[in-house]
Structure 1
Amino acid sequence: MLNMDFAQSLTLSYDPDRWQPSPAAGVWRYPLEREAAESGHVTSLVRFQPGSVFAEHEHPLGEEFWVLEGTFSDENGDHEAGSYVRHPPGSRHRAFSRTGCVIFVKLNQFDESDSELKAIREAQGLWLTGEHGFRRLSLHRYGGVNTSLLEFADGGRFPACCYRAGLEILVLQGQLSDGKQTLGPLSWLRLAPMSVPELNAIGHTRLWVRTGHLASSMPVNQTG
């Protein structure tokens, strides 16, 4: 297991040396949290080299991903950078990329009753501007769990209301400071419920954000 104690807050700066080959030729993975080698709860970055294919596989408890670079493809179509896609529990697909891509993917983390198939392109979404100096695009909501994009045009403090039930962030662009270090693109944070850190965006910053998903998570002993 890797980083599966959800009562532990984690801050992982991006390190390009952490990429690992997957069982599929030309497909590389950057693990962030993982229950087992090829099954169970997984959060990772995945990189497809041009022309690479990942064989048909099932998502027992769903799959969702955000396309960071390039174009990801499957039987449902082509998903360009800036796309958010959800495949419900029990779904299957064959994944590939003609020109190469990088995605942020979460596997087997859905509520069993969350059966919505969804594909959203950022450019077509409805951004809402808040009073705290950032704008927000909602990607998905279900059972108290919220997934969204946050964009700070010129820096600002991350809203403290989002911490109570757990918080997960992937830095997409710009920089995020936690008071101890400054985190650049592809850095990942997972903050345990009731954590109250002070997070501040520096300059033009964009974040993938999830809240509410750790409130009922039971700690799992990490074995390495």
Structure 2
Amino acid sequence: MLNMDFSQSLTLPYQAERWQRSPADGVWRYPLERESAESGHVTSLVRFEPGAAFPEHEHPLGEEFWVLEGTFSDDNGDYGAGTYVRHPPGSRHRAFSRQGCLIFVKLNQFVADDNGFKALDERQGLWLTGDHGFRRLSLHRYQGINTSLLEFAEGGRFPACCYRAGLEILVLEGQLHDGASVLGPLSWLRLPPMAVPALEVTGHTRLWVRTGHLVASSPVSRAV
């Protein structure tokens, strides 16, 4: 197991040397949290070299991913950078990339009856601008679990309302400060419910954010 104690705060600055080969040639993984080697709850970065493919496989409790670079393809279509995709529980597909790509993937983490397919290009989404110095695009919302993009034009403080029910962030661009570390692109952090750190961003910064998903989670194993 890897980083499966959801009661603990976790900050992982990006380190290029942590990439690992997958069972498929030309497909690399950067593990963030993992229940077991090839099944169960998984969060990771995945890189496809040009022409690489991953054989057909099933996602018993769903798969979702955010395309960071390049174009990811499967049996349903092609998804360019800036696309959020959800494959429902029980779905199967063959994954590949003609030109290469980098994606952020979460496997087997769907609420049981959240079973719809979704593909949302951020350029076609409805961005909302508030009074807190950032704009927000909702990617998915279900039973109190919210997945969004936040974009800060000139830095600012991360909204404290998002801490209450657990928080997960992937830095897409810019810098995020958590009081102890400066986190650049591809850095990842996970905070348990009721954690209230002072998160701030510097300059133009984009974040993938999930809230509300750790409320019902119990520790599986202490982080390793």
Give TM-score scaled by structure 1 length.
0.99
Partner of 1:222: 222
Gapped runs of 5+ residues in structure 1?
Answer: none
Deviation digits for residues 8-36 of structure 1, max 9, x if unmatched? 11000000000000000000000000000
- Is 1:155 aligned to 2:163, yes or no? no
Partner of 1:164: 164
Partner of 1:110: 110
CA shift for structure 1 position 47: 0.2
Partner of 2:97: 97
Gapped runs of 5+ residues in structure 2?
Answer: none
Partner of 1:11: 11
Aligned-partner SS, 1:47: strand
- Is 1:56 aligned to 2:37, yes or no? no
Which 4+ residue blocks in structure 1 deviate beyond 3 angstroms? none
Deviation digits for residues 44-79 of structure 1, max 9, x if unmatched? 000000000000000000000000000000011000
State the identity as a percent: 78
How many angstroms apart in 2 are the aligned matches of 1:223 and 1:76?
36
AA in 1 matched with 2:92: R
How many angstroms apart in 1 are the aligned matches of 2:223 and 2:185?
28
Is the 2:3–2:223 contact (alpha carbons within 8 Å) kept by the matching residues of 1?
A: no
How many angstroms apart in 2 are the aligned matches of 1:59 and 1:130?
36
Aligned-partner SS, 1:105: strand
Deviation digits for residues 149-206 of structure 1, max 9, x if unmatched? 0000000000000001000000000000011111100000000111000000100000
Partner of 2:88: 88
How many angstroms apart in 1 are the aligned matches of 2:219 and 2:4?
7
Partner of 1:2: 2
Note the aligned Cα RMSD (angstroms).
Answer: 0.7
Partner of 1:206: 206
Aligned-partner SS, 1:123: helix
AA in 1 matched with 2:112: E
1:177-216 counterparts in 2 under 5 A? 177-216=177-216
Give TM-score scaled by structure 2 length.
0.99
How many angstroms apart in 1 are the aligned matches of 2:217 and 2:76?
32
How many angstroms apart in 1 are the aligned matches of 2:130 and 2:90?
37
How many angstroms apart in 1 are the aligned matches of 2:137 and 2:75?
26
Partner of 1:29: 29
Aligned residues: 224
AA in 2 matched with 1:205: T
CA shift for structure 1 position 222: 2.9
How many angstroms apart in 2 are the aligned matches of 1:35 and 1:141?
24
